[in-house]
């Protein structure tokens, strides 16, 4: 039984240091290893007995990076603590997990000069495995990107959702007004969709919406064009820098593509297959319009297409 509290503490400290989930190396002012904990042995494959009393630069089978050696020299000469961040020094020491000898552990290292009773200075090297933190950060970032995508996308069609469209539309209209450019809009609606749903059921209705969404997506040619699902069976497309002629041509090609799918629709009152009606409107420089009037006008164009017999494109100037 050890009654000396100092001795007792010392004995415990060795155990504590070995149990730490960090790499601990202590070197003297000449760079000789005085302490090498079990974490270091586990991840370097070098036993304490092999490391002790040797110069740190000779302990590993490869030369240590210049920046690491410079940092140790700096810590020893200034006697101030030094931080080696993972961002600027990914893997300074050859440390590995579970016998893997290819993929090094990501490391963050802290060097702390320690003054000894005899006035000599030692340097404590603490190595932290930062791969968990990096993985966690990566996962959080992926999640946040996913949420961002969810917040802007319509899950059924994969097109943008109405919320995203509204925000982009406001920005684009302002930009068109500032830069004196054209901005065209089209609204598309599946003809007699209620009849389709009633007859073929909701799952088939969903498939029809997806099919129309794909037709729209496939026909868009510019990366600046933006398509969104605007309501149940209603879609909207915004085309910056597109004249009314170009917009109408695109609308017609989408209408044709949907008709060409020949999706059976026996309760359509105008054709035996699925069709759409499209309304187009354009903002041209000099016109006065806000988002509400522009949208309303495009909706009126769509209404006109419906009134005139459906399965067609109608244009209404702003």
Partner 1 sequence: MDNLTALHIDALSEVFNIGAGRAAASLSEIVSEEVKLSVPALEFRKCAEFNEKVLSLDQSQLGVVRQQFSGALNAEASLLFTEDSALEIMRDMMGSHISIEELAEFEQEAMCELGNIILNACLSAMSDMLNIQMESSLPSYTVCNAEQLIQDIIDTPDQEYIMILHIDLEIERRQVNGKLIFLFSSSSLSTLRIRIDAFLNNI
Binding site for partner 1 (CB under 8 A): 66-67, 70, 74, 77-90, 108, 110, 112, 115, 133-134, 137-138, 141
CB proximity list for 258: less than 8 A, separation 6 or greater: 211, 212, 215, 274, 275, 276
For partner 1, the closer of residues 91 and 200 by Cβ is 91
Q: Which C-beta is closer to partner 1: that of 2 or that of 78?
A: 78
Concerning whether 172 is annotated as a catalytic residue, the answer is no
d(CA 196, CA 199): 5
CB of 125 to partner 1, least distance (A): 14
266 three-state secondary structure: coil
Q: How far is CA 237 from the centre of its chain?
A: 25
For the bound state, the minimum distance from the C-beta of residue 94 to partner 1, rounded and expressed in Å, comes to: 19
Judged by CB, which is closer to partner 1: 110, or 257?
Answer: 110
Strands, DSSP E only, in 11-106? 23-27, 33-36, 82-84
Burial per residue of 29-58, b for 16 or more beta-carbon CB atoms within 10 angstroms, e otherwise: eebbbebbbbbbbebbebeeeebeeeebee
Contact present, 107 and 95 (Cβ < 8 Å): yes
- Strand-pairing partners, residue 125, are 25, 111
Q: CA separation (Å) from 165 to 152, 155, 227?
A: 8, 15, 8
Is 208 strand, coil or helix? Answer: helix
Instruction: Kindly name the residue from 172, 233, 234, 244 that is annotated as catalytic.
Output: 233
Specify the residue, 108 or 248, whose C-beta has the smaller distance to partner 1. 108
Tell me the closest approach of the beta carbon of residue 28 to partner 1, in angstroms: 19
State which residue, 112 or 152, has the beta carbon closest to partner 1.
Answer: 112
Question: Shortest gap between Cβ of 66 and partner 1 (angstroms)?
Answer: 7
- Could you tell me the smallest distance in angstroms from the CB atom of residue 299 to partner 1? 40
* Contact predicate 40/25, CB 8 Å: yes
At closest approach, how far in Å is the CB of 83 from partner 1?
5
DSSP string, 94-127: --BSTT--SSBPPEEEEEEEEE-TTS-EEEEEEE
Cβ contact 285:181 at 8 Å: yes
Report CA-CA distances (Å) from 51 to 40, 61, 202: 10, 11, 72
Instruction: CB nearer to partner 1: give 69 or 246.
Output: 69
Residues labelled as active-site residues: 233
């Amino acid at each position: 039984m050890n009654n000396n509290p100092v001795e007792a503490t010392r004995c415990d400290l060795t155990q504590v240091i070995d149990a730490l989930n960090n790499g601990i190396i202590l070197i003297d002012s000449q760079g000789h290893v005085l302490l090498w904990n079990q974490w270091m042995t586990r991840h370097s494959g070098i036993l304490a007995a092999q490391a002790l009393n040797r110069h740190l630069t000779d302990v590993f089978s490869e030369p240590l990076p210049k920046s690491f050696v410079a940092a140790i020299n700096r810590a020893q000469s200034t006697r101030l603590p030094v931080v080696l961040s993972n961002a600027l020094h990914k893997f300074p020491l050859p440390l590995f997990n579970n016998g893997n000898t290819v993929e090094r552990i990501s490391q963050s290292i802290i060097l702390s000069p320690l003054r000894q009773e005899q006035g000599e200075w030692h340097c404590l090297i603490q190595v932290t495995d930062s791969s968990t933190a990096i993985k966690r950060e990566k996962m959080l970032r992926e999640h946040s990107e996913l949420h961002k995508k969810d917040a802007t996308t319509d899950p059924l069609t994969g097109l943008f959702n109405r919320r995203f469209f509204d925000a982009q539309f406001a920005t684009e209209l302002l930009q068109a007004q500032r830069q004196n450019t054209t901005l065209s809009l089209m609204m598309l609606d599946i003809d007699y969709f209620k009849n389709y749903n009633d007859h073929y059921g909701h799952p088939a209705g969903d498939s029809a919406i997806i099919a129309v969404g794909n037709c729209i997506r496939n026909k868009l040619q510019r990366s600046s064009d933006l398509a969104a699902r605007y309501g149940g069976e209603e879609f909207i497309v915004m085309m910056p820098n597109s004249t009314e002629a170009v917009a109408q041509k695109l609308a017609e090609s989408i209408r044709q593509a949907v008709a060409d799918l020949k999706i059976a629709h026996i309760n359509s009152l105008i054709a035996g297959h699925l069709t759409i009606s499209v309304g187009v409107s354009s903002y041209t420089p000099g016109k006065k319009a806000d988002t509400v009037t522009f949208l309303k006008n495009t909706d009126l164009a769509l209404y006109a297409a419906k009134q005139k017999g459906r399965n067609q494109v109608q244009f209404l100037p702003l």
